[in-house]
Amino acid sequence: MTGATPQGERSELLDALRGFALFGVLLVNLRSLSLYDLLPADERAGLPGAAIDAWLQPFMAALVDGTSITLFSLLFGVGFAIQRQRAASDPSGTRRYLRRLALLLAFGLVHAYLLWWGDILRYYAVLGLLLIPLARLPDRWLAALGVVICVGLPVWLQPVVPGLLPPQIGSPESAARALVAFRSDELGTLLSGNLERDLRMRIAVWFLPAYVLGRLMIGAALGRSGVLEQPEKHLRFWRRLFFSMLLVGGGLTVFFAVRKAGVFGEALPWLGSEPGKMLMRLGRFAAPLAMGLLYLAGLVLLYQRPAWRRLIGQLAPLGRLALTHYIGQTFIAIVLFYGIGLGFGGRIGLAGTVAVSALILALQLAASRWWLARFRFGPLEWLWRSLTYLQVQPMRRSKVLSESTRRAR
């Protein structure tokens, strides 16, 4: 096999799901890229719309933040599994898969060190290697082990790891230094500040590898099982998943929201005991995973209805250019918010970032439709595929059609 997957074999549902997840990731990432997350509390309180932000912040924390990275990671796991399955009968399939991951790692490192410290692609690339030996596990065991790793492992390590970390890793002083660097109009200051922030946050968010690996494993199990490639044949599975995750994820989300609001008061003193604290940590790691699976199942079920299929399918062009748009979002944000660009960073609150995110999504969606009417792949997708297959892939649609016509004759 010397060429990439033909366009006709692509799943519109998977592409639409990637587009939906990409919008959620943009909502989360833009909070940091707009410098809002780096602002001290007094500056946030002085922003226009601060009263709206106070309501919006817990809403996004419960329904967007962890859920978005969950859905994005699950779909990467699905993609990795499908790639491995398609290459199973090809002797060079494993080497091509490894090249694909190596190239993804290169994209991620360049993105992280030269543009934005919050890059997630390097985690997918490195942890994707572990899916090779784990592929021997049955689907259910792979998914179950993924849950244990992304929920249980961080909870088990939580009492130990934070005490081993260097002091001041996630401190306000660190955020203040990053804010100064990103507001600077000097490229060197920006790059050094970005590198420092990246190194600090890789340590501070120490549980992220387990968080991501478990989700990749669950996604790989879903991808291998065929429930996403032919969802209409597995509606019972998707309904059961939806209602079980609604019970778990929805229940935990509501519980944590009302507890934070002080509704329980002192009614649950046992939560302060060691077993209670352990259960709380389990719940906090389980909630975003359950909510991400709830979103996935809900979208799959809605997609089976013609009206919803047309609506959800509108996001497919965005998902087909996911890599280009993911990195492109960083470029747009730097131009808008960093000191080397227009310098609007730290001037808008959460409501403003949501509005800007919606505008960026609309622009990227329009650009996706225009681009895909003329080309087979996005720019970075084309580069990724060409280097993966060690062969320049045909880019223009007209060229593909002419070659197909000649072969037919």
Which of the four pLDDT bands, split at 50, 70 and 90, describes residue 403?
A: very low
Across residues 89-102, what is the average pLDDT?
86
Q: How many other C-beta atoms can be found within 10 angstroms of the C-beta atom of residue 351?
A: 17
pLDDT confidence of residue 313: 96
Q: Which of 172, 124, 115, 183 is nearest to 327 (CA)?
A: 115
Residue 8 pLDDT more than 70? no
Across residues 37-63, what is the average pLDDT?
91
pLDDT confidence of residue 395: 92
Q: What is the largest CA-CA distance in the chain?
A: 79
pLDDT in tens, 168-201: 555 788 899 999 999 999 999 999 999 999 998 9
For residue 70 the two structure tokens come to 């969950």
pLDDT confidence of residue 263: 67
Q: What is the mean pLDDT of the chain?
A: 89
Q: Which residue has the higher pLDDT, 174 or 30?
A: 30
For 113, half-sphere exposure in the C-beta direction (CA atoms, 13 angstrom radius) is 7
pLDDT confidence of residue 3: 43
Cβ-defined contacts of 45-51 (< 8 Å, 24+): 47/347, 47/348, 47/349, 47/352, 48/348, 48/349, 48/352, 49/348, 49/349, 49/350, 49/351, 49/352, 50/349
Secondary structure tally for the chain: helices H, strands E: 22, 0
3-state helix, strand, coil in the chain (%, to 5): 75, 0, 25
pLDDT confidence of residue 220: 96
Residue 130 pLDDT more than 50? yes
pLDDT confidence of residue 311: 96
CA–CA gap between residue 122 and residue 43 (Å, rounded): 33
Are residues 378 and 7 in contact, defined by beta-carbon separation less than 8 angstroms?
Answer: no
Cβ-defined contacts of 4-8 (< 8 Å, 24+): 4/377, 4/385, 4/388, 4/389, 4/393, 5/86, 7/376, 7/400
Are residues 393 and 382 in contact, defined by beta-carbon separation less than 8 angstroms?
Answer: yes
**What would the DSSP string read from start to end of 248-266?**
IIIHHHHHHHHHHTTSSTT
CA–CA gap between residue 62 and residue 112 (Å, rounded): 26
Q: How many other C-beta atoms can be found within 10 angstroms of the C-beta atom of residue 2?
A: 9
Residue 400's DSSP bridge partners are none
Residue 396's DSSP bridge partners are 375
Helix H or strand E encompassing 53 = helix 50-60
Residue 2 pLDDT more than 60? no
Which of the four pLDDT bands, split at 50, 70 and 90, describes residue 390?
A: very high
pLDDT in tens, 263-322: 665 666 667 677 878 888 899 999 999 999 999 999 999 999 999 999 999 999 999 999
pLDDT confidence of residue 90: 75
The helix/strand/coil state of 375 is: strand
